[in-house]
Amino acid sequence: MSGGELSGRVTLITGASRGIGRSLALLLAERGSDLVLAARQEGPLEEVAAACASRGVRARAIAIDVGDPAAAAAGFARAQEAFGRVDHLVNNAGATGDGLLVRMKRSEWDRVLQVNLGGAFEMTKAALPAMIKARYGRVVNISSVVGLMGNPGQANYCAAKAGLIGFTKSLAREVASRQVTVNAVAPGFIDTEMTREIVPAAREKMAAQIPLGRLGSPEDVAFGVAFLLGPGAAYITGEVLNISGGLYM
């Protein structure tokens, strides 16, 4: 087992094959946490698992579609079996389906809500019984600044991310007496595969709205999540950590 402040812990990360999830997995491996890496396709996860294992921890890749309730429950059971328990859960899996509300199909609305909000519900519900019994657990939900400030063309995504914040605060009150903390992270415009597809002029306009003058990196978000999972955040629960370069204050 690698040394580090998270040695002996097991962390499950959904949406771990790329972007924020991948960066977080690598950072947590450096801090000693064993990892269960989840995404819809197991193939892309294998590279991340190998990179984590090279840092001296155990890492297992498991295909989980959090948008499918039955698959999410079955996938979590496999994750728990991998190392015997799950101490930390990071609900990072997400989906977008952008469009103006007047043109949005109900299926686009339902899918985005189910993956972003419903997926967090399914995974957290599965994780909580063991955390409550152990009187220890950390849940971090990856929301977004658009859940706080809105964004045209993303009514479904903004609703889901705002819902995650309400979910976080309510759940934090439910399980605090069992020493389980529940927090959220709200990233701003982050330099990921998704934002790289935006035309340069639009990216420049986005960056111009950020007081720090640049898009964030997946690592910027990963460090915030890692803090909430670490021993230094033991007395923090029900909070939303805004990582947006000042975009939202």
Instruction: Using DSSP, state whether 192 is helix, strand or coil.
Output: coil
Catalytic residue among 136, 157, 235, 248: 157
157 labelled catalytic: yes
CA 83 – CA 9 distance, rounded (Å): 10
CA 165 – CA 239 distance, rounded (Å): 9
With a CB cutoff of 8 Å and minimum separation 6, the contacts of 113 are: 156, 159, 160, 163
CB atoms within 10 A of CB 50: 11
CA 49 – CA 246 distance, rounded (Å): 33
CA 25 – CA 32 distance, rounded (Å): 11
Residue 131 identity (one-letter amino acid): M
Annotated active-site positions, please? 157
